A = this chain, B = another copy of it.
Amino acid sequence: MHSFQELSKQFSDKFKLDHFPSQPQGLYEPAQYFLGIGGKRIRPIACLMSNELFGDIENDTWQIANALELFHNFTLLHDDIMDEASLRRGKQTVHLRNGQNTAILSGDVMLIRAYEYLNDINFEILPVIFKLFNKTAKEVCEGQQYDMEFEKRENVAMDDYLRMIKLKTSVLLAASLEMGAIVGGATRNNCDRLYGFGKNLGIAFQIQDDYLDCFGDPAKFGKEVGGDIRRNKKTFLLIKAKEMVTGRQKEELDGLLAGDDEDKVERVLTIFRDCGIDMWAKELQKQYADKAFQNLEDVVVVKARKKPLYDLAEYLLNREY
C-alpha cells in the first residue's frame, strides 16, 4: 500500500512524460506546456488510492488516472478562454501565450488524448468506465455553463449554486474515486460510497475555498484575501449573506457590491461577520465533510487500507492556503 505522498510523487513523475507527438508543434506544444504548469493532481491520485483499497494498483488505473488529469486540464484550458484569465498557477494562459484559436484546438486535442488513454484498458471494464467518464464529462460542461450564466445574474439561489458546484467540481472527483474502485472489482455499494465520498468532499472543499478567500490567514493564503468580494464573485458566503441581510444592512451590501470602494472588502467582511456568515460557512463545510467521512467509513474494507484517502481528505479540508 502506498501513502498519499508516495502516490502523489509516483503519479507526478509518470505524468511528466510527453503526452503528444512532436508534430504539428503549433498544436501539441501548447498542450504539453499547459500540462507542465503543474497542479495537485488530486483526481488521478484519488483514483489510484481508490483502486488500492481493493488490491494492488493495476495498469488500467494508471491509464484512467492519465485520462482524468488530461480531461481536467482540458476543462481548465477552455475555461481560461471563457473567463479571459491571464494566469494559471502563476503562468501565462494558453490563449494569451499562443492565441485563442490554438487554445481552442489544443484543448480539443487534449480531450481526445484523454479518451485515448482509456482505449487500452481491459475490454471487459471499458464500457462501464467509458460510460461514467462520458456522463461526468457532460456534467462538468453543464457546471461550467451554469457558472457562466450565474455570473451574469443578479441573484442565484443557494440550491442552484450548490448544483453548479457539484457539476463543475465534485462529480469529477467522485467519478475518479468510483473508477478506481471499478478497476479494483469493488461491489456496487462500495462504488456508490466512494462516489458519495468524492461528491461531498468536493463540496466541502469548495466551501473551504470560498471561506479562505474571505477569512484566510493572509500570511498563509497564496492569493489576495477578499479577491472574490472585490470581483463580486458569487460564492457560498455571498449568496448566504444576500439571503440574510435586510433593511440598512441590505442597502449597505448592495451599495458596496455596486461600487469598487477601497474599503469594500473590509466592509463586506464586517457584514459577513455581523450576520455570522463565517460561522455558518464553517458549519456547512463541516456538514459536508462529515458526510464525506461517513461515506468513506461505510466502504466495506478494513479500515487500515483507507488511511491514504483519509489523508487526502484532511489535506484538502484542513489546508489554510
The residues of A with any CB-CB pair to B shorter than 8 Å are: 23-24, 26-27, 78, 81-82, 101-102, 104-105, 107-109, 111-113, 115-116, 118-120, 123-124, 126-127, 130-131, 134, 137-138, 141-142, 144-146, 148-149
Question: Which residue in B113, B130, B145 is a CB contact (below 8 Å) of A119?
Answer: B130
| CA–CA, A119 and B104, complex, Å | 25
| CA–CA, A123 and B81, complex, Å | 37
Say yes or no: B131 contacts A105, CB within 8 Å. no
Residues of B within 8 A of A134 (CB): 112, 115-116, 119
Say yes or no: A27 contacts B142, CB within 8 Å. yes
Copy number in the complex reads 2
Residues of B within 8 A of A126 (CB): 123, 126-127, 130
| CA–CA, A112 and B112, complex, Å | 9
Interface majority SS on A: helix, strand, loop or mixed?
A: helix
Say yes or no: A144 contacts B105, CB within 8 Å. yes
| CA–CA, A131 and B27, complex, Å | 21
Contacts beyond the supplied A105-B144, A130-B130: 12 A-B pairs with Cβ under 8 Å: A26-B145, A81-B101, A82-B101, A102-B145, A104-B104, A112-B137, A112-B138, A112-B141, A115-B134, A116-B138, A119-B130, A123-B126
Which of A24, A116, A126 neighbours the largest number of chain B CB atoms within 10 Å of its CB? A24
- Residue on B nearest A134 in the bound complex, by CB: B116
Residues of B within 8 A of A120 (CB): 127
| CA–CA, A109 and B146, complex, Å | 14
Question: Which residue in B23, B109, B115 is a CB contact (below 8 Å) of A141?
Answer: B109
With contact pairs A101-B148, A115-B134 given, residues A27 and B108 touching in the complex (Cβ less than 8 Å) = no
| CA–CA, A149 and B137, complex, Å | 30
